[in-house]
Amino acid sequence: MHDKRSMSVHVTVVAAALFCAALASAAVRADGPALPNNDGADGVLRVCADPNNMPLSNDKGEGYENRIAAQMASDFGYKLEYTYFPQRMGFVRHTLREKEQGSERYRCDLIIGVPKGYDMTSTTQPYLHSTYAMVVPNKPEFASIRTPDDLLKLPPEQLRKLRFGIFSQTPAVDWLLGHNLIEQAVSYRVQSGDPGEYPGQMIEHDLSAGNVDVVFLWGPIAGYFAKRAGDSVRLVPFAPQPGIRFDYTISMGVRYGEKDWKDKVDQWIGANHDKIDSILATYQVPMLKPIDAPAPGSGAASQ
């Protein structure tokens, strides 16, 4: 397997979802003394976000997390403010857990996308259940591929010539290993030192240039960049299945100890799944059936 070049997947919902189990076991949980509740008394929704991580967020407000935050602020009657920081190592420490200089106020109070059960934050009920996907070119030789398993049914001489773009330490690695195709993988590192890089480059640059033939990405990213590519590519999601886990649930993250604030956010999510789904659909996010979400008005998930 080659290491073609360094590319970045920001450690946001994406990398967190990819490594949910590993992060949950390795992270240091921030229990301890209860923190002052953020109940929005000053009428400001302060959101922690990445400035360049489309389709999730950017500093122009163009991502689906930006739009969800804007809808929440509007429904609360709050002003919306952001603290931007690249969502990778140190993101939570420098946003949700960092106080403004000379103040007891934290820089921001809500992360719109974290994996359900993520240990670095207290997590709300899920609002998104999605999955990994393949993106394949709309070429005659790929016309039969409607599910990931259809890729394996290609003629052996064709299959063995394909180059698969993958990020290291993702379910795609295990899937290719299980089908003896890992030697054909073109591997991209999960993180690089350049915050200007973004995971959709694998589709926009390398797939379009023919440097790889098929790419494997977290579904919300794959769907958005496949849509941008127009009719030249197709999205082929992985269905939930035993063995390798491709599907993950995404929640919102708040600080531990802020139960009233978490309850307020939880209740908004529970009452507004239709609004959230409508936003996600415009970004071509592959959405699976919701799981373990309480009914609207049932209160917050447990701490």
Structure tokens at 197: 């890089």
**Residue 188 pLDDT:** 82
pTM over 0.75: yes
Are residues 4 and 209 in contact, defined by beta-carbon separation less than 8 angstroms? no
DSSP structural state of residue 10: -
Question: What pLDDT sits at residue 191?
Answer: 58
- Compute the distance between CA of residue 144 and CA of residue 155 in angstroms, rounded to an integer: 11
Assess contact for 40 and 261: CB atoms under 8 A: yes
CB 133 within 8 A of CB 223: yes
Question: Is 71:279 a contact under the CB 8 Å cutoff?
Answer: yes
For the segment(s) 2-9+132-237, the CATH number from 3.40.190.10, 3.40.50.1460, 3.40.50.970, 3.20.20.70 is: 3.40.190.10
Give pLDDT, residue 196: 65
Read off φ and ψ for residue 151, nearest 5 degrees.
-60, -35
pLDDT in the model for residue 299: 37
- State how far the alpha carbon of 303 is from the alpha carbons of 26, 110, 114, 208, 259, in Å: 19, 16, 15, 45, 8
DSSP state of 154: S
Ranges of H-type helices in the chain: 13-18, 20-26, 64-76, 91-94, 148-151, 156-159, 171-178, 201, 208-209, 219-228, 259-271, 273-282
Pairing mode, strands 122-123 and 247-254 = antiparallel
Question: How far is 289 from 174, CA to CA, in rounded Å?
Answer: 24
Domain with CATH 3.40.190.10 in the chain: 2-9+132-237, 13-128+248-282
Topology (CATH) of 13-128+248-282: D-Maltodextrin-Binding Protein; domain 2 (3.40.190)
Binned average pLDDT, 10 residues per bin, the chain of 303 residues: 37 38 35 51 92 94 98 97 92 95 93 95 97 95 96 96 93 96 87 65 83 95 92 94 94 96 97 97 92 44 28
Q: What is the pLDDT of residue 43?
A: 92
Do residues 215 and 135 touch, judged by C-beta distance below 8 A? yes
Q: How many CB atoms lie within 10 A of CB 216?
A: 26
Residue from 303, 247, 251, 300 nearest 127 by CA: 251
Residue 82 pLDDT: 98
